[in-house]
Structure 1
Amino acid sequence: MPSARPAHISVLVACLTLATSSAWAQASKLPITPEQRRVADQVASAGVPLSELAPDAPDQHVVVSGDTLWDISKLFLKSPWRWPELWGMNREQIRNPHLIYPGQVLLLVKTDGRARLQFGQRVGGDAAGDTVKLGPKMRVSALDSSPIPNIPLNLIQPFLSDTAVFDTDVLATAPRIVAAQEGHVVLGQGDLAYARGDFGGATDFRVFRTARALRDPATKEILGYEAPYVGTADLIRAGEDRTNADGKTEIVPATMKIKRVKQEVGIGDRLAPAPQRTLERYVPHAPDKPLAGQIVSIYGEALNAGQNQIVALNRGAADGVERGHVFALWRGGDAAVDATGDRSVSIRLPDERHGVLFVFEVYQRVSYALIISVKEPVRSGDRFTQP
């Protein structure tokens, strides 16, 4: 950076990233080029307009265990999803632009009509009023450290491991449980089950009930099939067809051991190979083009959804939806009557924006989003747009 630039700007979050980029490049196999460094510096020097700050934005915040980047950004911004701008984050070229850890001091710096966050260094004890020293500070951390997450991963982790959406109803022809150990009707953890079908060489399976169709609220077209998760099972012995003493062929099903159950496993439940899952550090961003749609369903059995619940959207990868997309939730205006004139007239009140969605899982024609904030209950059919 030019030497004339004030010292405090040199400790922008993006610069912290560049100091640790070699370790991250090795881990993610995404080398940081000089051009990427230049762009990161340019983004980091911008910040957000002061008009985007929350009215009561604090001058500093000490990161505590349990914080998320969304929580922290909500302290400083009217629109928390814009935290990449506040932090100087370049989501397109640097996938892990910064890591924030409990105990770090974050300072809100305002210069030239814009604001950005930087690290400060606490001196003294741990009291809230301790002096904060402004100055360059770098943190090089081992890859097994525990930085705070972007969003509450504990809310979506069970969904990522438990839920599957299929473009077609493939479970209708998937391997199925045909019998239970010792005549059991339902099975629990550690029980043996017997299954038939094409296992495709896999040994680790998820168990599902019959999949339900996800239909577009407007067109009623089937967008995919959501399969209710039951548990997991391991294939411990393959099935076979063998000839008995009478010369007749006997079908011997495969033997499965129930490994984990969310609900009791039963005869007729279907098996699908368990995929490898990783929890990513999603970077929030608005769609690059106009995107709008409707809520297909509330995940689970509820009719309405509130904050921290999961909803299915009728837009997916084919429509340009990406992990990390942020959408605004809208509630349709109520029907009303204008009785103030010579005669009563039926009217429709305007739609009202009342929440924010954060997309974390995307399939071809549907996606799933976490309700980050909401004022009123969310229902199937509610619409969403760009934030």
Structure 2
Amino acid sequence: MKTFRSAHRRLFRPHLLASLAALAVLGAGVSAAHAQNYPITPKQRATAQATAQAGIPVSDLAAGAPDEYTVKRGDTLWAISRMYLKSPWRWPELWGMNMADIKNPHLIYPGQVLYLDKTDGRARLSTRAGSGTGGTIKLSPRTRYESLAGMALPTLKPSLIEPFLTEPVVVDENTLANAPRIVAGNDNHVLLARGDRAYAIGNSESPLIETSGPIKQFRIFRNATPLVDPASGEVLGYEAQYLGRAQLQRSQTVESQMQDGKLVTSVVPATIDLIAAKEEVRAGDRLLPEPPRQLVSYTPHAPAGPMDGGRIISVYGNAVQFAAQNQVVAINKGLRDGIESGNVLAILKNGEVITDKTNGTKETLKLPNERIGLLMVFRPFEKVSYALVLEISDVPKAGDLLVNP
């Protein structure tokens, strides 16, 4: 036990700056405990160095931004930034910089005290009091006897988006149709759940065959629902319904036998076991290979170019059109449009078309579009992306407009 504690003993230095905390890492199935092992990219470092040195105009601070704030468990970087900024995604410009002190700029911990410096009309945030005064500061290191490994703040609450990093998938029209399919359950079970055994067949292009190495795992999907651009009518992809996961136990084989004096060849299905099930699985459901886990760095920022024609397509996993805060939506912009993880977009309520009768005539008018919230892209595909609704003042719905924040 003593050795374990010694290995996790860290010095907590009050002068560590929050700095590039905006680059906090969330991973698909990977907790924040691994964040400190994830490197910062040269582009991220250069951007932060260029912007954070100058800070931001004091006029860009949120009303009531505190001069001092102690980071608490349960905080997120987005929530802290919203407390300080009118535009929370701009926090790399607010955080102070000291690259010599920050061995890993992804980290900011509960217990750190944030100090807001407003010198010469510019605002900067650091964990060193009076960092903009140029005075001498006496530092008194304190020792923490608990591990900091799992304490680093995430950009957003991981529970909001972690399931969506692996569950939903956008495919083309033929991907699911050509994927291996479940043909039967063991003991004539029609509806299958976690722990059940089933049988599946792949085609000549994707047979279910065991190979050397780890056991093959698959995700199970159903119902490729078309995602249609509300403006153009273009089918941008097909959203497959995630059901669960399975692993291959035995390969499908080919068996030959004599029937009525003729040699008949038939396929013997592969054997799979269901290792996770979000919903009941049945014959006809399709298998796609389990993708490798990925670490994703979320640095909220505006898109590089103008976001013309952006719209919400649908609310994920719901038959309704309306979205609430912290819900996931599909949007009609993807990699081909320059969208990337971390892009923040403003949601505009599409103004209604009304008939004006106030002037003694009937004139058709369109009311102005109204800004009602923000969302952040966390999983882009080629033509569509999934985004998290971060904050709203009205109820977003499918068809609402998206613009640069």
Band the TM-score falls in, shorter-chain normalisation: 0.7 to 0.9
Is structure 2 residue 296 aligned with structure 1 residue 291?
no
Is structure 2 residue 51 aligned with structure 1 residue 55?
no
Shift of 1:342: 4.7
Is structure 2 residue 357 aligned with structure 1 residue 357?
no
**For residues 224-282 of structure 1, what are the alpha-carbon distances to aligned partners after superposition, in whole Å with 9 as ceiling and x for unaligned?**
11110010000000011112365432321000001100000100000000112234230
Q: RCO (CA 8 Å, sep 6+): is it higher in 1 or 2?
A: 2
* Match among 169, 174, 182 for residue 169 of structure 1: 174
* Match among 280, 296, 314 for residue 280 of structure 1: 296
**For residues 323-356 of structure 1, what are the alpha-carbon distances to aligned partners after superposition, in whole Å with 9 as ceiling and x for unaligned?**
0000000001123344443545332210100000
Q: What are the ranges of 5 or more consecutive residues in structure 2 without an aligned counterpart? A: 1-14, 23-33, 130-135
Contact between 1:160 and 1:277, CA under 8 Å: does it hold in 2?
no
- Residues 48 and 241 of structure 1: is their aligned pair in 2 closer, same or farther, counting only changes over 3 Å? same
**Number of residues paired by the alignment?**
356
Amino acid at match of 1:183: N
Is structure 2 residue 87 aligned with structure 1 residue 79?
yes
**For residues 153-198 of structure 1, what are the alpha-carbon distances to aligned partners after superposition, in whole Å with 9 as ceiling and x for unaligned?**
2111111121111134301010000111111111111111000002
Identical residues among aligned pairs (%): 46
* Match among 255, 258, 271 for residue 242 of structure 1: 255
SS at match of 2:176: helix
Deviates more, 1:276-285 or 1:217-226: 276-285
* Match among 220, 227, 230 for residue 217 of structure 1: 230
Contact between 1:11 and 1:136, CA under 8 Å: does it hold in 2?
no
Partner of 1:3: none
Partner of 1:266: 282
CA distance in 2, matches of 1:139, 1:108: 22
Contact between 1:169 and 1:211, CA under 8 Å: does it hold in 2?
no
CA distance in 2, matches of 1:353, 1:368: 20
- Residues 137 and 351 of structure 1: is their aligned pair in 2 closer, same or farther, counting only changes over 3 Å? farther
CA distance in 1, matches of 2:248, 2:267: 17
* Match among 269, 289, 302 for residue 253 of structure 1: 269
CA distance in 2, matches of 1:284, 1:139: 32
Amino acid at match of 1:373: E
Partner of 1:230: 243
CA distance in 1, matches of 2:97, 2:337: 25
Contact between 2:372 and 2:395, CA under 8 Å: does it hold in 1?
no
CA distance in 1, matches of 2:258, 2:362: 88
Partner of 2:74: 66
Partner of 1:379: 397
Shift of 1:144: 3.7
CA distance in 1, matches of 2:143, 2:52: 19
Amino acid at match of 2:231: A
- Residues 344 and 225 of structure 1: is their aligned pair in 2 closer, same or farther, counting only changes over 3 Å? closer
Shift of 1:16: 9.9
- Residues 48 and 11 of structure 1: is their aligned pair in 2 closer, same or farther, counting only changes over 3 Å? farther
SS at match of 2:161: helix
- Residues 177 and 32 of structure 1: is their aligned pair in 2 closer, same or farther, counting only changes over 3 Å? closer
Note the aligned Cα RMSD (angstroms).
3.3
Partner of 2:346: 328
CA distance in 1, matches of 2:115, 2:382: 41
Contact between 2:348 and 2:402, CA under 8 Å: does it hold in 1?
yes
Contact between 1:332 and 1:350, CA under 8 Å: does it hold in 2?
yes
SS at match of 1:74: helix
- Residues 29 and 245 of structure 1: is their aligned pair in 2 closer, same or farther, counting only changes over 3 Å? same
CA distance in 2, matches of 1:215, 1:96: 42
* TM-score between both structures, scaled by the size of structure 2: 0.79
- Residues 362 and 140 of structure 1: is their aligned pair in 2 closer, same or farther, counting only changes over 3 Å? farther
CA distance in 1, matches of 2:140, 2:122: 22
Deviates more, 1:359-368 or 1:339-348: 339-348
- Residues 258 and 295 of structure 1: is their aligned pair in 2 closer, same or farther, counting only changes over 3 Å? same
SS at match of 1:265: coil
Shift of 1:210: 2.4
Q: What are the ranges of 5 or more consecutive residues in structure 1 without an aligned counterpart? A: 1-9, 18-23, 122-132
CA distance in 1, matches of 2:368, 2:189: 57
**For residues 24-43 of structure 1, what are the alpha-carbon distances to aligned partners after superposition, in whole Å with 9 as ceiling and x for unaligned?**
9x95566869xx67x75443
Contact between 2:258 and 2:264, CA under 8 Å: does it hold in 1?
yes
